[in-house]
Amino acid sequence: MGEPVLQLEQLRKRFGGLVVTDDVTLDVMGDELHAIIGPNGAGKTTLINQISGLLASDAGRIRFAGRDITALSAHARARLGVARSFQITSVLSGFSALENVALAVQARTGSSFRFIGRVAAEVGLNERALAVLNELGLAELATRIAGELSYGERRALEFAIALAMQPKLLLLDEPMAGIGREESLRLLDVLQRLKGRLPIVLIEHDMATVFALADRISVLMYGRVLASGPPAQIRADRRVVAAYLGDELE
């Protein structure tokens, strides 16, 4: 496992009087899939937003790949290699799937302050974008307009966008939410392909997915880390079972 890629140190966030992230300290190791579970309102999405830079933290530090990124903007963090998906899928609806992915490739290769040359004809961008789509088994979607894809396909496209950024960390915010049974199997397959290739932080309510994929699990309750450890340990943890897993597992 080696060095932690992501270190959260006593991270805090409050909205008015409500403390949503309360002293969260967490490590994500080099190649692990780290799941964060917890009831609704536990502050999971807020935490992801803090890590990806969409929300500023009130206190604490975020270290990524040995660097303090607490003060960096979202786009600067993305450039360093933090990629994410959203709970409500976020793609460029008017663009083709290929263009969506090519744009992520573009962000990593050369300047985008280039005013001449047709970008749609840039072979380098298109080939790499297609390679990523292929890798996730999505090549047949390439020419389709993203807004016309099914919900599950759009979610998978979002993974492809994230992957095309050549990230060093992937943050997935409830990838299975709102996906039908059949498509969720396909997404699970995609996730399995990603796992082990890069560190992933996964927020998920679907416990079958979590226990099938996670190397480690942290349980979040009212913004605090209740427990953190391998799946077997979490499953056996009395406090976790009493507070959250009890009704989820039965």
Which residues are at the interface with other proteins (CB under 8 A)?
A: 52, 54, 73-76, 78-79, 83-84, 86, 90-95, 99, 103-104, 106-108, 110-120, 122, 161, 165
Q: DSSP for 134-153?
A: HHTT-GGGTTSBGGGS-HHH
Q: How far apart are CA 31 and CA 158, in angstroms?
A: 21
DSSP alpha helix (H) spans, the chain:
44-52, 74-80, 97-108, 123-135, 151-164, 181-194, 207-213, 231-236, 238-240, 246-249
Identify which of residues 78 and 176 has a Cβ nearer to other proteins in the complex: 78
Of 79 and 239, CB closest to other proteins: 79
Closer Cβ to other proteins, 157 or 188, answer by number:
157
Q: Given the complex with other proteins, which of 24 and 98 has the nearer CB atom?
A: 98
Smallest separation (angstroms) from other proteins to the CB of 154:
12
The sign of the CA dihedral 224, 172, 29, 15 is negative
What minimum distance in Å lies between the beta carbon of 84 and other proteins? 6
Q: Report in angstroms how near the CB of residue 103 gets to other proteins at its nearest.
A: 6
**DSSP reduced 3-state for 160:** helix
Least distance in angstroms from the C-beta of 22 to other proteins:
25
